Amino acid sequence: MNLNQITLPVADFDRSVEFYRDMGFTLIVHSPPRYARFECPEGDSTFSIHTVEHPVSTAGLVVYFECSDLDGRVAGLVAGGFEFTKLPTDERWLWREARLIDPSGNVICLFWAGGNRKNPPWRVAA
């Protein structure tokens, strides 16, 4: 199995489409006012947004996008008007992370982990 797709709930479809396009994702399916799918700029993964009528709790939900050029990407997004809740920070779990919130309250983490994403020093032996 390979995780390829996740769908995020959104309250404002048009604003959310604009947000993710401005972040650098490629819009590949556009079915307003309910559904859109995006292709990530690196790799083969996609994700989508789906309009919900009632707010959905996103407490505890974090969507991670790995960026090999994390600091440069964050600097470009900040220059483009994006507001981050956390700028790139080296974390104790050996990842460098930055966080922002999409227009519907979904937490987005841009990060760089390199080999530590799948093979941290504390990885469980097979």
Q: What is the pLDDT of residues 34-89, one digit of tens each?
A: 999 999 998 899 999 999 987 777 778 899 999 999 999 999 999 999 999 999 99
Whether residue 11 lies inside any domain: the answer is yes
Please, are residues 17 and 31 in contact by the beta-carbon 8 Å criterion? no
CATH of the domain at 28: 3.10.180.10
pLDDT value at residue 57: 74
Instruction: Single out the residue of 10, 3, 70 nearest to residue 41, CA to CA.
Output: 70
Range of the domain at 42: 7-116
pLDDT value at residue 77: 98
C-alpha gyration radius of the chain: 15
The encoded tokens of residue 52 equal: 């919900």
User: In sequence order, what are the beta bridge partners of 49?
Assistant: 8, 36
Residues 100-126 have pLDDT tens digits of 999 999 999 999 999 999 999 999 998
**Interatomic CA distance for residues 25 and 100, integer angstroms:** 15
Whether residue 83 lies inside any domain: the answer is yes
**Interatomic CA distance for residues 87 and 111, integer angstroms:** 10
The encoded tokens of residue 66 equal: 């790995």
End-to-end, the C-alpha distance of the chain in Å comes to 18
- The model carries a pTM of 0.92
Give the mean pLDDT of 16-43: 97
Provide the residue count of the chain.
Answer: 126
Give the mean pLDDT of 20-34: 97
pLDDT value at residue 53: 86
Whether residue 124 lies inside any domain: the answer is no
Instruction: Single out the residue of 20, 23, 98, 108 nearest to residue 61, CA to CA.
Output: 108
> What is the tally of structural domains in the chain?
1
